[in-house]
Structure 1
Amino acid sequence: MTKYQSLARQLKQQIRQQIWRAGEKVPSVRACSRQSGVSTATVLQAYQLLESEGWLIAKPQSGYLVASNIRQVIATEQQDHHHSQTPLQINDLLYDVFQRTKSGDFVPFSSAFPDASLFPQQELVRSLASASRKMSDDSALTNLPPGSYELRRLIAQRYVQQGIQVMPDDLVITSGALEALNLSLQAVTQPGDYVAIESPTFYGALQTIERLKLIPIEIPASAEKGLDLDEFANQLATYPIKACWLMTNFQNPLGYTLSHEKKKQLVELLDHHDVYLVEDDVYAELYFAEDRPLPAKAFDQHHRVFLCSSFSKCLSPGFRIGWVVAGPHSEQIQRQQFLSTISSSVPAQLGISHYLRHGGYDNHLRKLRSALQMRKNEMLAAIREFFPACTQVSDPDGGYFLWLGFPPPFDCRIFYELALARQIAIAPGTLFSVRQDDLRHVRLNYSYPMTDQIRTAIQTLGQLARQCLCDDEPKHETVRSIN
């Protein structure tokens, strides 16, 4: 790809994200040349390409403006893209990232899980041992899908305490949240169906869409405002969308949480268009405010929301115990589960049930949330100290990810390679979009304690970011939060 084509692609992404809206003037050729670090001739070629494709219009004495019919242009391009025979290739990229960063020698800022030292490992082992000793001979049969009744009862109890009416029979226990999400999406779609996702989104959604041969429709989202519900409404009116896969609490990678009002609007919108929501709520227990945020499921009156979660992010990744609140769809989920994993681990189900009853789960969660909030603040302080002043960084109210953004000519692929060479693993922005063309962002896991090694790694990343930007900004300026 040539420089002008790469620049044109970046500008398209900015227009899709509504940085530049219909009728607005984009930066002049000279200004864009300075910002992107390419020649004015290259910028002019990029603008002329976008003009020929209908994205921009040239106005004498005014420069280039975003086309007034830009929504139609974007919809047409998406339709052409979706009807092409080229499938998603996110699994190839993910495999490369995971294979190259799985060594324990790397600083694990790319990890999808919190620091393992935050989990009550010894208490869980004791609970597992105690539950295993008490297992009856027929436990393997009695705990087949929908899973352990006692575990389902305890999970339902926690929802009821939050004011959400969930019964044990509404729940199906799964092998982690990803299986719950996969089974839920599979229950309401067929190959070739349209599925709405956030952009950027959790790469697990992209993997599932690729595997199920579904067609993704990206809905723009930002750390500041969350999911763009107006654009979602436009896409629902444009495409025959069957389902959507969304995170409404502490979205990965952006970190935003939709307000209760926006969650209610979202569910009403889905009801109006007869669309199902597969809600990924795995970070709901990792909140820093006084109260746990409600899921969109709390506003669901017509059983359109499949609420999926797990203990992997807040208790133990290794146990692989998740669930889906499927309501009247639970039998369909169970039938699909029989065709895949049959059931999740019976000892793990019983061990977690024992821990929830006797292990002090809520006390553990309070300590976990306190530690994560402190570590977030420490990493934010280090980023503001060591990164270029032009860096934008999210400041989420929960979870354990930060989303960093940089201006052109930053390229997260180069940044990723430079970091790997210094034994630092980061998650490049290309992992989180269908087109894998988000070059300006990276995701960092902030759950690790601010040791000398972590602090040095953040300092190194700041130096590498300056190298990618050819940055020589004044040192007294500060990194800007995007929340």
Structure 2
Amino acid sequence: MPQHPTRYEQLADDMTQAMSDGLLKPGERLPSVRETCHRRGVSPSTVFQAYGLLETRGLVEVRPRSGFYVSAPKRSLRASLQPAVPRPEATEVAVSALAFDLLESTRDPAVVPLGSAFPRGSLFPVDALARSGARAMRRLKPEQVTSALTAGDETLRQALRKRYALQGVPLASDELVVTNGALEALNLCLQAVTQPGDVVAIESPTFYAALQVLERLKLRAVEIATDPVEGVDLDALAAVLTRERVAACWLMPNFQNPLGALMPVARKRALVDLLAHHGVPLIEDDVYGELYADLRRPPPAKAFDTTGGVLHCSSFSKCLSPGYRVGWAAAGRFARDVQRLKMMSSLATSLPPQLAIADYLGQGAYDRHLRQLRALLADEQQRVRRLVLRHFPASTRVTQPRGGYFLWLELPPTVDALALHHRAMAAGISSAPGVLFSADRRFTHHLRLNVGHPGDPRIDGAVRQLGEMAASMA
């Protein structure tokens, strides 16, 4: 939902422009908080928030007991963390056993959850959602129990269509299907456009859940080199589309898991045009789209779809309530197929969670919650990234995403990330080794860390200990 910039966001934008214009130069100290308060007529809190946002953007750095300084130009991540070069042929997928072991490890509350797929539970408005659920159930009409089957509760679907419209993505009234989380939406969409044995183009690295789905549906994966900053390599994808008979693409243009890459708008538009030219559907996984660190939500690829070929999937699991398992698919011209598959599998999504979320959205608190959540995650991402650079081997390379809550680490080649994972688990620390994120387990010295646990007092010690373990293996 569009928002006017807050005072601290406007201040940060003004200072960003001053840096672009050369008025604030690399290495130069920013005006003191007191000075900026006086000049701009704002509170110290506003200045600290603005400087924090500039730090999140990588434009300023904090020097202890000295202040904030304009960051010196750094090598781009593209120069330091190169895209992988996947095998050119399609590959059978078999990652479920390893992924299952990882998920089992993150369920133990005694384990530090650096390998988890979800943010910290205390970040979500559990009590407010409970009140919304109780309020909605008191208003429940008997006819709603059956009218919400398959497609989902109409009030929730209307609220979702409104949010799409405000992003510039108008949807047909029957295009949305509410699902049991985004994973069911992605499963249904993939089934709607493929048959067993088909080839599906995916990013490299990619989220291990995508690999699990391909494995279950007996589909083959062809991996596309993916830039750690700007996402999938369109030239590499075009070459694969020319060479292979690709049935579908499953991509994550916004804050890709595990890299955190954000595909620029022009690249998203070119992606949609390329796939439309080849007649290949795009299954867009956009579960992290609301967790941006910049001022505006990045548009989904769905915004540039003119043929109904983009099946856009998302959920509330990463930004509002993991346990409610409410997701959806805006499936374009495949919406009827997705609805039929939903009817033949799970039939419906549980109604009480849908009603609770619909009521919560109607209270107007969602965007306020998101603003707070984004700020916390962005601050924690930068904080943990500094810990990684301090405690891991000096040659470790680490991404700097503009949203989401993951960091992707490239360790020295001698470090076996899977062995590191097992060693850390013995010490009560989980991590996600890179071999999980590729069909052929290529990322042997890579690691994904979850930085979505601000306020957890165990994080600093766990990152330090994990880094020391990695250093002992380097």
TM, length-normalised to structure 1: 0.79
The residue type paired with residue 261 of structure 1 is: A
Q: Which amino acid aligns with 1:361?
A: Y
Q: Deviations over 1:326-351 (max 9, x none)?
A: 13322211110011111101111111
SS of residue matched to 2:224: strand
Displacement of 1:412: 0.5
Q: Could you say which residue in structure 2 is the equivalent of 1:164?
A: 169
Aligned AA (2:129): L
- SS at the partner of 1:169? coil
- 1:262-307 CA-partner distances (Å, limit 9, x unpaired): 0011111101111000000000100011110001111111011000
* Equivalent residues of 2:103, 2:116 under 8 A apart: no
Give the letter for the 2:310 counterpart: V
**1:206 corresponds to 2:211:** yes
Question: Which residue does 1:410 correspond to in 2?
Answer: 415
1: CA distance between counterparts of 2:100 and 2:332?
35
One-letter code of the match for 2:174? D
1:232, distance to aligned residue in structure 2 (A): 0.6
Unpaired runs of 5+ residues, structure 1, are 1-13, 19-70, 470-483
Quick check: 1:153–1:167 contact (8 Å CA) kept in 2? no
- C-alpha deviation, 1:242, in angstroms: 1.0
Whether the 8 Å CA contact 1:379–1:450 is kept in 2: the answer is: no
Aligned partners of 1:15, 1:314: CA distance in 2, in Å?
Answer: 30
Matched, 1:17 2:78: no
Instruction: Please give the residue correspondences for 1:49-448 in structure 2 after superposition, counting only pairs within 5 Å.
Output: 75=88, 78=89, 82=91, 87-358=92-363, 360-448=365-453
Distance 1:388 1:151 in 2: 48
Unaligned 5+ segments in structure 2 are: 1-80
Contact kept? 2:82, 2:227, Cα under 8 Å: no
- Measured after TM superposition, the shift of residue 15 of structure 1 is 11
**% identity of equivalent residues:** 46
Of 255-264 and 331-340, more deviation after overlay is shown by 331-340
Deviations 1:37-60 (A, max 9, x none): xxxxxxxxxxxxxxxxxxxxxxxx
Alignment partner of 1:465 out of 463, 470, 474: 470
| Superposed CA offset, 1:80-99 (max 9, x none) | xx4xxxx5221111112222
The aligned counterpart of 1:52 is none
Matches of 1:441 and 1:191, distance apart in 2: 31
Q: How does 1:20-35 map to 2 (within 5 A)?
A: none
Q: Does 1:449 align with 2:464?
A: no
The AA in structure 1 aligned to 2:130 is V
Q: Distance in 2 between matches of 1:373 and 1:15?
A: 24
Deviates more, 1:441-450 or 1:183-192: 441-450
Distance 1:388 1:224 in 2: 22
Instruction: Report what 2:39 is aligned to.
Output: none
Rg (Cα) greater in structure: 1
Contact 1:195 1:244 in 2 (8 A): yes
Alpha-carbon distance between aligned partners in 2 of 1:209 and 1:231, rounded to the nearest angstrom:
21
Question: In the aligned structure 1, how far is the partner of 2:393 from the partner of 2:352?
Answer: 49
1: CA distance between counterparts of 2:193 and 2:266?
A: 26
Q: Quote the offset at 1:452 in angstroms.
A: 4.1
Q: CA shift at 1:359, angstroms?
A: 5.1
Question: Amino acid of the residue matched to residue 128 of structure 1?
Answer: G
Letter in 2 for 1:94: A
Amino acid at match of 2:448: R
- In the alignment, residue 264 of structure 1 is paired with which amino acid? R
Do the aligned residues in 2 keep the contact of 1:414 with 1:468 (CA within 8 Å)? no
The residue identity in structure 1 corresponding to 2:113 is P
- Tell me by how many angstroms 1:451 deviates: 4.7
The answer (yes or no) to whether the contact 1:405–1:441 under 8 Å persists in 2 is yes
Displacement after TM superposition at 1:379 (Å): 0.6
3-state DSSP of counterpart to 2:452? coil
Q: Residues 185-235 of structure 1, C-alpha deviation per residue, up to 9 Å, x if partnerless?
A: 100111111110001001111011111111111101131342111111110
Deviation at 1:167, TM superposition (A): 3.6
Q: Matched residue pairs, number?
A: 394
- Secondary structure, counterpart of 2:324 in structure 1: coil
| Contact 2:115 2:432 (C-alpha < 8 Å) held by counterparts | yes
> C-alpha separation between the residues in 2 aligned to 1:147 and 1:100?
33
Show the 5 A alignment for 1:2-13: none
**Whole-angstrom CA distance in 2 between matches of 1:394 and 1:420:** 23
- What corresponds to 1:49 in structure 2? none
Deviations 1:109-129 (A, max 9, x none): 111111111100000000011
In 1, distance between residues paired with 2:203 and 2:438?
Answer: 9
Contact 1:378/1:450 (8 A) holds in 2:
no
Q: Deviations over 1:403-441 (max 9, x none)?
A: 011121111011101111110000000110001231111
Offset of 1:138 from its aligned partner?
2.4
Indicate if the aligned counterparts of 1:198 and 1:219 stay in contact, CA closer than 8 A.
yes
- Partner Cα separation in structure 2 for residue 15 and residue 153 of structure 1: 42
Distance 2:456 2:83 in 1: 40
Task: Name the residue aligned to 1:473.
Answer: none
TM-score calculated relative to the size of structure 2? 0.81
